[in-house]
Amino acid sequence: MDAPREDRKGEAPWKMSGEELEKQYSPSRWTVRHGPEETQRIYSEIGIEATRRARATRRSLLGVPYGAGDGETLDVYFPEAAAADAWPLFVFLHGGYWQSGSKDESAYMAGPLTARGVAVVVVGYTLAPKATLDQMADQVAQSIAFVQKRFPCNEGIYLCGHSAGAHLATMMLLENWTTERGVTPNFKAFFLISGVYDLEPIVHTSVSAPLRMTPEDARRNSPQWHLEAASTKPWGPACPVLVIVGQHDSPEFRRQSRELFQTLCRGGWRASFEDIQDVDHFEIIWKLTEQDYVLTQIILKTIFPEF
């Protein structure tokens, strides 16, 4: 675990040239074993195959609507020995910079987790430019409220997001659930994997164009700026938040994860920092297909402390 360091008072650490900013926020340019295009191809193929296998070998509910809007559906993969509805629920939000990716190619962890008695929920949401960040965050909150109501006897919701999905998962720490959603999800832990939590640097990259993101939008949708106040929520600090990053993520992605962890610590959250060795931005998630992968084991140990 990285030790917290002092904040840079009055300094924007991401300030750099436009060219360097593009490089820092282009994860495929930091891969270590394959070129950018091959990495993207492998990432997609592994996700598609893992999802196909899960649908072929696990009892599932596919394309379940949690709302009436475009893309507002989710898939549920049930444990092998499914009895009643009292399982832990691992809810996953895919990445893709809020403009690509799909639940239909993101069930990486369904095999290993369902084999251990965990139900896996993979959430779809509307992508940019059809949706704004505010709309995506609202959809994710809708999906979690739906899951809690659909499976009220669950043994805990373990919310996980990768990359843009990690951002959306972190936004759920800011929700006023009972007031705005009429339900208090049974959150037991958050897994935030290789995410972006301060969106201000993104405004100055090509990623921003499909999002139509203004500086005001970026600040409103940056959990980094709001989490200390959110720790006053009754379920907040008691819920573990695991901030996870890959050794070969870009320096900016690693900085963002460290600084989110530090903010959580200052706010009194029960936060931890996991630096997964010898993986890049894509490998960190696709290796969840493997039962013995270190992150798979961290997830299982969090869900089942006796594991």
Catalytic positions, please? 163, 249, 281
Q: Is 121 helix (H, G, I), strand (E, B) or coil?
A: strand
Give residue 266's region: left, alpha or beta (phi > 0; psi -120 to 50): alpha
Which residues, listed in sequence order, are joined to residue 73 by a DSSP beta bridge? 65
**What residues contact 231, with CB distance under 8 A and at least 6 apart?**
237, 264, 267, 268, 269
Which string of DSSP letters, residue by residue, matches 19-46?
A: HHHHHHT-GGGG-SSS-HHHHHHHHHHH
Q: What DSSP assignment string belongs to 234-301?
A: TTTTTSEEEEEEETTS-HHHHHHHHHHHHHHHHTT-EEEEEEETT--TTHHHHGGG-TTSHHHHHHHH
Question: What stretches of 151-250 show up as alpha helix (H) in DSSP?
Answer: 164-171, 200-203, 208-211, 215-220, 227-230
Decide: 134 and 217 in contact? Cβ < 8 Å.
yes
Distance between CA atoms of residues 289 and 79, nearest Å: 15
160 vs 194: CA distance, rounded Å: 11
Residue with tokens 């509805």: 85
- 3-class state of residue 215 by DSSP: helix
Around Cβ 243, how many Cβ atoms within 10 Å?
31
